[in-house]
Amino acid sequence: MTTSNSSNSFLSEAKSIVLENISNEQFGVSELADLMNMSRSSLLRKIKKQTNLSASQFIRETRLQKAAELLIDSELTVSEISFEVGFSNQSYFTKCYREYYGYPPGETKTKKKEEVDEEWNLEQKKGKNEVVVKSTNINRYIIVIMAIAIVAIIYFFKDQFTSSESKSNKEKSVAFLPFENLSEDNSNLYFINGVMESSRNNLQKIKDLRVISKTSTEKYRSNPKTVSEIAKELQVNYLIEGSGQKIGNEVLISIQLIDANEDSPIWSEQYKYQLDNVFELQNTIAKKIALAIEANVTPKELALIDKKPTDNIIAYDFYLKGLENQNEKSEAGLNKAILNFEKAIEQDSKYANAYAQIAICYYYLDSNKIEKKYLDKLNEYADNALLHDATSELPLIAKALYYINTSEFRLAIPYLEKALDYNPNASSVVLILSDLYARVVPNTNKYLTYALKGIKLNIEANDSVSKSFIYLNLSNALVQNGFAKEASKYIEESLKYNPNNPYAPYLKNFIDYANDKDLESLTGKMLLEWKKDTTRTDITQELAKLYYFQEDYDNALYYYEKYISILATNKIDLYPAENIKIAYTFNKMGFSNKAEQYLNKYKDYLEKDESIYKEASLAVLYLYENMPDKAIEAYSKFSLQDDFQYWVLIFMKKDPLFMQLQSHPKYEETIGKIEIQFWKKHQQIKEKLEKEGLL
């Protein structure tokens, strides 16, 4: 059943259904929601928005209005009418009636007659006073009425045109709200969740759509917010609501697509399918929604939507149970998930997604552990997944996670980027790529691109802590690409959602410096941060470096020695690129042996360095060894690189080693090339992201 209702028609339909069931005392909110093919939560939100009443108040007032009509037009007694409009208790009916109308039911005929007489008298009096005015100005009124009619016609056609135009221009952004399980057996919840997730996954394959991630929508499962409020938070134009139940060998689904701006359903449907045809149901839902939104669906995307993951419904049932276990996010849940995915494979030995999910479970079981116990199993199941299907995102993600767990990050990236070809809205892939391009395979352009895509898909995290880190990540990506003012905006958002985020103040201090270039102020702020936790490796080395830039080698050495002590205590080796600054500081303070030790560490680091910063790092070594010509040559090679961080531009000239270059005849030309290259790339990134609607 397709609907296209205005607010008035929605209320009229709701009222009509209540009136049809007026004498049924048991008729309530759930029954009204069922008959209107809406979830209970959707009905509550819609009635609240349009009447400022709860759904139960709306039903009661409809009963009382009908009672008033019967009291005036019929000869029924108050007692008979109370039963007629669904009140089994006459005294309760009288109480409600008095509260609503201000007088008891028995006085209705008298009160209504008095109201009618009063209105008649007012009209008569008004008519006598205005008769002359009406006769002398009748021509003027005719002209005005005609003008109003013409304007109304113009606006009617204008609205018809603009509504059609705006629909095509409106961003095709959609969010699935959690489906409501109507099954009497709560153990069937996994199946309804699975149908919803598979329908969402099908829509995610359409590049023309922006489909919000599950992590962003799950918080609205029992949330009383209105459609408009939710859509505003998620920054989408369309919401999908639904409910379903599994009864024996059948699945029943009610679903509707809501235009969030109009707060009205533009498409709704009820489905009843045999379990064997559940994939057809999921594919149909995705296609109907895409059609209603007028999304551009390519033949390749249509084929991906129509592709069945398995022909075995029993295997699929085990798979959905496994997903529910996996969502528990605990070691016990992951182990239960593996068992269910294995049962799915027993039913269908070519079930690629089941193999992939087992690999993903093993990845999480090994995650953040020094000793990786499940690498072989992770790789085995990922390879099996790819063997049976290399054209879906899950097998590709599984193989990428294997390379991430073996720290072969460059090998993971092609699999992740290929996964996005099959699912452009895969938020987990976007977030992983953002992290990889930020930390281990530095590329500021791709880091920012994926960070912006990530926040578009994960706009509303389930908790404020997660949301704070999302904004932190984005602000870091922005400032690295030279968008310092934009970064300031998002770092404030990060702090707003979690003032205790340990990394946000640190980053904010550096973003402030990118905007004001006040090195002394930055040093003072970082000293305050360090005092909050003197064991922080990152802040300790940053503080030492800031004193180094100011040629305050006493303080630089003080904090570098603390940094070295922290590394030794924790048996870790971080920030190897800083070893040349440590060597220079020791040298300046007269500790030549220690200086030599850290210089050698820096050289070892350079031998392994394959990053875009290698030539710039070599240049610093040449400066340490008093070879300015070779340093200029290295910087000249570095100027050909793309996607290096804004921090290079900001702090390069602050390095005391760099200052000896300023008298070199090729200094201005060489450094100018680096600056021009950065800002040229900055402008290209800006234009590209603006064109894609990401910036």
CB 329 within 8 A of CB 233: no
Helix axes 278-293, 313-326, angle to 10 degrees: 70
Q: What value does the CA radius of gyration of the chain take, rounded to a whole number of Å? A: 34
Place of tokens 């109009």: 262
pLDDT at position 161, please? 38
pLDDT at position 672, please? 94
Residues in the chain: 695
pLDDT at position 156, please? 39
pLDDT at position 347, please? 96
Token code pair at residue 413: 């990236």
**Cα separation of 562 and 556, whole Å?**
10
Q: How many CB atoms lie within 10 A of CB 674?
A: 20
Long-range contacts of 543-548 (CB under 8 A, 24+ apart): 544/581, 544/582, 544/585, 545/578, 545/581, 546/519, 546/522, 547/523, 548/581, 548/584, 548/585, 548/656
Place of tokens 């090998």: 411
Tell me, yes or no, if the pTM score tops 0.85. no
CB 481 within 8 A of CB 490: no
Which residues is 268 bridged to in the sheet?
256
407: left (phi over 0), alpha (psi -120 to 50) or beta: left
pLDDT at position 602, please? 96
pLDDT at position 110, please? 74
CB 631 within 8 A of CB 622: yes
Among 240, 229, 297, 292, which Cα is nearest to 266's?
292
Please state, in angstroms and as integers, the Cα–Cα distance from residue 306 to each residue in 175, 252, 257, 268, 395, following that order. 21, 20, 21, 21, 18
Q: Which residues of the chain have pLDDT under 50?
A: 1-5, 116, 119-120, 123, 127-167
Helices and strands (H and E) in the chain: how many: 33, 6
Long-range contacts of 586-590 (CB under 8 A, 24+ apart): 586/557, 588/553, 589/553, 589/554, 589/557
- Which three-class secondary structure state does DSSP give residue 617? helix
Which residues is 271 bridged to in the sheet?
253
pLDDT at position 125, please? 52
pLDDT at position 678, please? 93
For residues 326, 333, 234, 181, the Cα torsion angle rounded to the nearest 10 degrees is 90
Amino acid at the residue 238: Y
Amino acid at the residue 489: K
Eight-class DSSP state of 264: E
pLDDT at position 168, please? 52
Q: Where are the alpha helices (DSSP H) in 40-169?
A: 40-51, 55-73, 78-84, 90-101, 108-136, 138-169
Among 225, 174, 224, which Cα is nearest to 204's?
174
**Cα separation of 667 and 517, whole Å?**
22
First to last CA, the chain: 39
- DSSP characters for 204-263? HT-TT-EE--HHHHGGGTT----HHHHHHHHT-SEEEEEEEEEETTEEEEEEEEEETTTT
Eight-class DSSP state of 310: -
587 φ, ψ (degrees, to nearest 5) = -60, -45
The full set of domains in the chain, from first to last, is 7-113 (1.10.10.60), 176-308 (3.40.50.10070), 311-425 (1.25.40.10), 441-512 (1.25.40.10), 609-695 (no CATH)
CB 24 within 8 A of CB 35: no
Q: How many CB atoms lie within 10 A of CB 312?
A: 19
CA torsion sign for 592, 597, 598, 600 is positive
How buried is residue 555: exposed, middle or buried, by Cβ count under 10 Å (0-12/13-18/19+)? middle
Token code pair at residue 633: 């040559």
Place of tokens 């697509």: 257
574-608 as b/e: b if 16+ CB within 10 A: ebbebbbbbbbbbbbeeeeebbeebbebbeebbee
